[in-house]
Structure 1
Amino acid sequence: MMADQDPQADDDVNLPRAAVNKLIKEMLPNIRVANDARELILNCCTEFIHLLASEANELCGKQSKKTITPEHIIKALESLGFASYVVEVSDVLTEHKKEAKTRRKASTKLEKMGIPEEELLRQQQALFAQARIEQAQAEQEEFMKWKQAQTIQQQESSTIAPVSEHDNHNDEHDDDN
């Protein structure tokens, strides 16, 4: 099946190596996996996805549908002999639907506010600019305090002149007189 395809086109449908490597590292944190084994895992994952997508597409077509749904994927898993994965896949699907619903609620709240996204972006940028100004002012004030402390310290050190040996020598001569 895959051998008939153009090798260049095959690169376009592979999973990202970084993603597969990350999965391997998460699943097997204390085990080193050779590069050729990583490549084999990548190819197996890609082939599995192709197989599953083809089966789901076939099931979808039998129902005269044009869009593969999660239910088609679950039926494809069962028909391909991967029924043991159905419970876990269904759990992931349920979790995904909950997260998607939460995201939709958040975006709906913004829409209900009646403020266009461009205006919200403008307001955000204005707030960032104001924060930068306030930060610069705070830094300037801090610098001025530091400079003032340095000036005071220099004044104090110049008013307390250390007694030099020359002054001590003159004091001795004053005593002799």
Structure 2
Amino acid sequence: MAEANREDDELSIPRAALNKMIKELIPNIRVANDARELILNCCTEFIHLVSSEANEICNKQQKKTISPEHVLLALDSLGFGNYKEDAMSVMQEAKAVAAKKRRGSSRLENLGIPEEELLRQQQELFAKARQEQAVLEQQQWIQMQQALQQQQQQMSQNTDDDDYS
């Protein structure tokens, strides 16, 4: 039985989130702990009910992903159609917040370094990389020349050795 309670705890709203919602909705009213527990259980049960119904609707439509439309149909099916308008409003608000985060949060802005300075640093790095590449290519060319000279010397010695034989 304790194991079943642990499973329920894993599948519920975090207590901190619930407490925050209660405080925002009714800031001037104290809520007893057993009332908070009841609210938590009701919220969890409601989520299970709606998600199960949305899953059934999704399966009937032979879809693999539950969409917002499935959730809205589930609300209707379960007799909670009066929540649809609020649900759609919250969904639009969440989409707007997500879009704003995508547009507004660029790593460049979060660095606190002016774009001109970053561009200057980038140009310095490119110049340094080009210089290092040139040095590397020069070293490789010198090594190839040395190897070629050694090969020519060996061939010359082999030819001299053959002449004396």
TM superposition shift of 1:103: 2.8
Provide the identity percentage. 56
Q: 1:29 to 1:105 in 2, by over 3 A?
A: closer
The equivalent of 1:124 in structure 2 is: 111
Give TM-score, length-normalised by structure 2.
0.60
Q: 1:94 to 1:6 in 2, by over 3 A?
A: same
In 1, Cα distance between equivalents of 2:76 and 2:37: 27
The equivalent of 2:86 in structure 1 is: 88
What stretches of structure 2 of length at least 5 have no aligned partner?
A: 115-165
Q: 1:95 to 1:125 in 2, by over 3 A?
A: closer
AA aligned to 2:67 is T
Give TM-score, length-normalised by structure 1.
0.56
AA aligned to 1:87 is E
The equivalent of 1:59 in structure 2 is: 57
- Secondary structure of 2:18's aligned partner: helix
In 1, Cα distance between equivalents of 2:23 and 2:45: 21
The equivalent of 2:70 in structure 1 is: 72
TM superposition shift of 1:126: 8.1
The two structures, once aligned, show a CA RMSD in angstroms of 2.5
AA aligned to 2:111 is Q
The equivalent of 2:34 in structure 1 is: 36
Greater than 4 Å deviation, 4+ residue runs: none
Q: How does 1:99-138 map to 2 (within 5 A)?
A: 99-106=97-104, 124=111
Deviations 1:87-112 (A, max 9, x none): 111111122222223333346xx5xx
In 2, Cα distance between equivalents of 1:14 and 1:8: 10
Q: 1:65 to 1:104 in 2, by over 3 A?
A: same
TM superposition shift of 1:125: 8.7
TM superposition shift of 1:18: 1.2
